[in-house]
Structure 1
Amino acid sequence: MQHEFILRGKAIRIAREIRDVSLQEFADMVRIDNRYLSKMERERIGITRMHEIRIIRGLRKHLKVSDAELVAIQIIVENAEGKFDEWKK
């Protein structure tokens, strides 16, 4: 069974906070309006493919977040929401 990686706003926020970077700082780094980024982090709006690429590149380049760290954060977020319960079957 293969699962597609879909970047979650909550994972972005956790990665950013782990690196002690403010929303405004990261928004400037990835050239996304801070209000728009805030809505993505709070999952009030979806993340477009273009923004997902910018954000992942920004996490890698500016915050030095590895792919493994991002996946681990994503798993923690989804596990906390019960998303992996279906895999246990």
Structure 2
Amino acid sequence: MIILEYKKQMISDDILKFRENMMFYINTAVGIFYVGTLPFFAFNSLLWNDKEIFYNYFTLFLLTNISMYILFSIALLWGKPNTY
């Protein structure tokens, strides 16, 4: 769904106004979160064997989660329609 939304934005002229486009930031946030945390969730049982690697991936999970919610906040702040 993320790829389809990016494709829809690139085909239309919405990509030129990506700063006001709320879906651009939401798609970017979800994409970064899913790609960043895929190894953590896919290999969670294997990572328990080496605690140092597990904690590094857990820190990456927390950072991608924080960045996702920051991008959600940016989307809500910048993506508001102009009411002037």
Determine which structure has the larger helix proportion and give its number.
2
Greater RCO, 1 or 2 (C-alpha within 8 Å, sep 6+): 2
Structure with greater Cα Rg: 2
TM range (shorter): under 0.3
Please give the TM-score of this superposition, normalised by the length of structure 2: 0.25
